[in-house]
Chain A
Amino acid sequence: MHQLVTNFDDTGNLKISDLTFYNSLSSAALRQQNATILADLADQLDNTFITGRGATYKAGADRTKAMQTMVDILTDGTKMVSDLAVAVDGCYQFV
């Protein structure tokens, strides 16, 4: 998705604000309003997991919850990529 170039060990320590899509100059309100872009990223991730990787939603999770969880993290520049990974692990069951 061309969002980072680090290896696995270093990626977890990246902040969301370090990713390519994140515009650190925009206000939090503008980022929240930029729902289409954020939803697009979350949609790409969900589509990749479900269609491309054969993952299923864990019990208690569905597409709405998974997407909203990812959007909430992608909106917050102080969150880490590892936080996104933990959230994904909580929503998806990989093969």
Chain B
Amino acid sequence: MKKCLLIPLFLFFATCCFGQNGISAQQINQVVTALTAAGETKENIKSTIDGIIKSPDLYNTFWKGFIDQAYKADSTKWKFLRDINVQLKTFEAQGTAPAGLGFTYDYNHSYAKFVQKGQNRISQSFDFSANGNVAFKKELNPYNLLETKIDYSYSFFSGGVVKVSNTSYYKRLDLIEDTLATIKDMQSVRARSLWEEFGKYLQLSNQYYYGVSPQFGFESNHDDNYFL
């Protein structure tokens, strides 16, 4: 499906998410205009509109096609889409009221950085996640939870391994390692002797580290009209 066709359709769906009274005539006209500009026939346009109003699976097909196009473009500006999962769904109503449309979303983004300065190392990581269910008509699903979380981690490490100045130690360690790989019994006299020699060439020191990991979270139900 053409990417130019998917974008206006996706924007249409996203706009519908904020509508409290279903799909409006203006929104349908916008879609018809976009489809006509894309060269679709009248029959295809009518079939598409009918399908949009009735079937969440059709939305999901459009969304998947949109995501696939974004992946093919392999552009930096589309990279954020790889962290988003959105699926349209129907919400069952109590009594005789008709079911309504909505969507469930799940977004996760992680970033980490590891820096070494001399014998000191610093690790930082940042994780953002948001998930929830949103009904286009809140009366259909008033107790769904929208959850947002931010996790940050900072760690500082110092020491651990003694740096040697004799580079011949590295080759000797490789030879010991290759020999140990051939030994089946790690408790044998030969294996123990090799491990002892290994320890002479790879000297360890005390390692110190400290870290902080604050976490922030926010939960909201649909009644607060909170959207992410």
Cβ-defined partner of A47 (8 Å) among B121, B155, B180, B183: B121
Which residues of B in the span 102-120 have a Cβ within 8 Å of any Cβ on A?
112-116, 119
Q: Is the interface of A mostly helix, strand, loop or mixed?
A: helix
State the Cβ distance, A42 to closest chain B Cβ, in Å: 8
Which residue from A6, A9, A39, A54 sits with its C-beta under 8 Å from B123?
A39
Contact between B161 and A48, CB atoms less than 8 A apart: yes
Q: Are A67 and B184 in contact (CB under 8 A)?
A: no
The listed residue (B115, B119, B155, B160) touching A39 by CB distance below 8 A is B155
Most A CB atoms within 10 A — which of B114, B185, B203? Answer: B114
Pairs A–B under 8 Å by Cβ, sample size 23: A5-B186, A7-B185, A7-B186, A8-B180, A33-B151, A33-B213, A35-B151, A35-B153, A39-B155, A43-B155, A43-B157, A48-B160, A51-B119, A52-B161, A52-B173, A52-B203, A54-B167, A63-B114, A63-B121, A64-B115, A67-B123, A68-B114, A95-B174
Q: Footprint of B on A, CB under 8 Å?
A: 5-9, 32-33, 35-36, 39-40, 43-44, 46-48, 51-54, 63-64, 67-68, 71, 94-95
